[in-house]
Structure 1
């Protein structure tokens, strides 16, 4: 039995006598590094060219061979794990596309139920696992038409830069709020620059409470707080969506635009020190302050030392209180 996918992404099975040829042709391609010509492969394997061509067709459908465009009929082998991941991703996107369609049908039918029929009931779906989460996010992005708002807390969200860039290219407005600490991390800063160069609006604040994405002001995706396995909660509820829209707009008003992606905390030092001072005044330890602001303890202590020196304070708590009062007077 050979598994392939149809044009709709569904698996189809095939049982035939030439199943052994498929395996032999793939192993031949893997051994040679590529199938340079069907006739040459047929001669080397001692089977007919028609059988080799049929085997190649099934291997291409199964993503185990790919045509090397521009070089005639040259086929390059693909790692089986990558081929399997590609097939699974295709099927998962189709599953979530159909789920979205089911939700739309239910919503339309609910319009005929009158008031008090539960049409405002919250729909929550929990998804776990990297492949499942990626499949859902791809489907939600494909369905998005107008706007994507991103709250990036860091540490629990995989890099979705390419997804956001593809949305911008389609004319979708993309606004991202992430934490100031991203300015000091070179790889993250470069991804932010690519996003900004592509047309996304990227701002930073001292602290983002939770990672979330709002698609078209209606679908909310909440990312899990655990670092272990990718997991999200998919929420369809206008009241919850409005809460996140209000939260996003509130943070956006306080956030600082990247403006050239300066290295480190240039341009946001005052805002960052204000947040540190407020947490210090509450008696939090350096470790807790650093964790709440998503920065390293070393960087946090450097900012605290600067504040204590500027304020001529003799203790962390005194520095925190004095700094907080200073920011309140000047804010």
Structure 2
């Protein structure tokens, strides 16, 4: 009776109390006949009599009960079909799921959320690129606060370009009250998250719509050691900028760009490696060209190599 209209409910109740209802009045609610709540009065065709609610209810429930029985039978069939595989799948988690491919942002985020919830002592993260958006940082504050409240230590690596993001600096200021440390480095490996040195997550595709969940102890320990090496070279975010002073009018970041240029990297690749947008990268390249007196991109690589700026202390 979920689809019975309000007028139909009112008229059916009235018919039950009176024992019958005029056919003309019942025409105002066609759902009464559709639900078989009324039937013709054998003594007077101008009137309709109500069917007992118990019989109507039983009639409406019959197909639902039949569907429930069919679904129960299907559940039994599925259980019996999977029974032979249950004993096979019950293995040591570290060997049975050493590498798991996660596809789709929802599945990746769900896995990371579970790892965060199960984490007991330490989270290590590498976040390449520039500053984060306000929405991302707001969510990070909420998530990190829960981690702090549980006494978990968290260390995060950003790139130097994040130092230009006031939001990222505000996040670091807010988080320094707990066991959260943030450092920056000029170049980083791809995104990485390690929980309790037992499970790690790395991207599996450039579009970040696939990730690998790694539980093999050897792989996770290797990635943790890579993180520690990067951490030792990195500078605390809230301390003075680690950029090297200019030499011959070329700044430290511009020398990094120059080095990547003569290695043959295109603008997009350089920007991605240094955590900046392509427009900023090209502006730096233009300044390098002006400082070295280069008239073309082809000449620029030669002038960089001949200038010796990459051999000087940074």
Using the size of structure 1 for normalisation, the TM-score is 0.54
- List per-residue Cα deviations over 1:206-231 (Å, max 9, x = no partner): 222211101111211113434374x3
Among candidates 107, 122, 125, match of residue 92 of structure 2: 107
Shift in Å, 1:170: 1.6
Q: Please report how far the alpha carbon of residue 198 of structure 1 lies from its aligned counterpart in structure 2 after TM superposition.
A: 4.7
Report matched runs for 1:239-318 at 5 Å.
239-259=218-238, 266-268=241-243, 271-311=252-292, 315-318=299-302
Residue in structure 2 matched with residue 204 of structure 1 by the alignment: 184
Contact 1:121 1:237 in 2 (8 A): no
2:122 corresponds, among 131, 134, 147, to: 147
Change (3 A) 1:148 1:277: same
Aligned residue in 2 for 1:175: 155
| Mapped partners of 1:194, 1:224: distance in 2 | 32
In 1, the alpha carbon distance for the partners of 2:126 and 2:95 equals: 25
Residues in 2 aligned to 1:144 and 1:176: alpha-carbon distance in whole angstroms:
16
**Aligned residue number for residue 138 of structure 1:** 113
Q: Deviations over 1:101-141 (max 9, x none)?
A: xxxx8439xxxxxxxxxx76761122233332222212111
Alignment deviations for residues 18-57 of structure 1 (CA, whole Å, 9 cap, x no partner): x89xxx9xxxxxxxxxxxxxxxxxxxxxxxxxxxxxxxxx
SS of the equivalent of 1:326 reads coil
Matches within 5 A, 1:1-331: 106-107=91-92, 123-154=98-129, 161=140, 162-196=142-176, 198-227=178-207, 229=209, 231-259=210-238, 266-268=241-243, 271-311=252-292, 315-321=299-305, 325-330=308-313
Residues 319 and 304 of structure 1: is their aligned pair in 2 closer, same or farther, counting only changes over 3 Å? farther
Encode CA deviations 1:250-274: one digit per residue, 9 max, x unaligned.
22122222116x8xxx543555334
CA distance in 2, matches of 1:319, 1:248: 35
Q: Which runs of 5+ in 1 are unaligned?
A: 1-16, 25-104, 109-118
8 Å CA contact 1:280, 1:321 repeated in 2 = no
Q: List alignment gaps of at least 5 residues for structure 2.
A: 7-89, 245-250
Q: Is the 8 A contact 2:294 2:300 kept in 1?
A: yes
Closer/same/farther in 2, CA of residues 127 and 283 from structure 1, 3 Å limit: closer
Change (3 A) 1:124 1:301: same
Against the structure 1 CA distance between its residues 196 and 317, is the aligned structure 2 distance closer, same or farther, given a 3 Å change threshold? farther
Corresponding pairs, count: 216
Does the 8 Å CA contact 2:173/2:238 hold for their aligned counterparts?
no
Structure showing greater Rg: 2
Q: Is the 8 A contact 2:129 2:161 kept in 1?
A: no
- C-alpha displacement of 1:236: 0.5
Task: Report the CA distance shift for 1:228/1:146 in structure 2 as closer, same or farther (over 3 A).
Answer: closer
Which protein, 1 or 2, shows the higher relative CO under an 8 Å CA cutoff with sep ≥ 6? 2
Q: Does the CA-based 8 Å contact 1:279-1:320 persist in structure 2?
A: no
User: Deviation at 1:168?
Assistant: 2.3
Alignment RMSD: 3.6
User: Which SS does the other structure have where 1:214 is aligned?
Assistant: strand
CA distance in structure 2 between the aligned counterparts of 1:187 and 1:227, rounded to whole angstroms: 25
Give 1:306 deviation, angstroms. 3.6
Cα shift at 1:185: 4.0
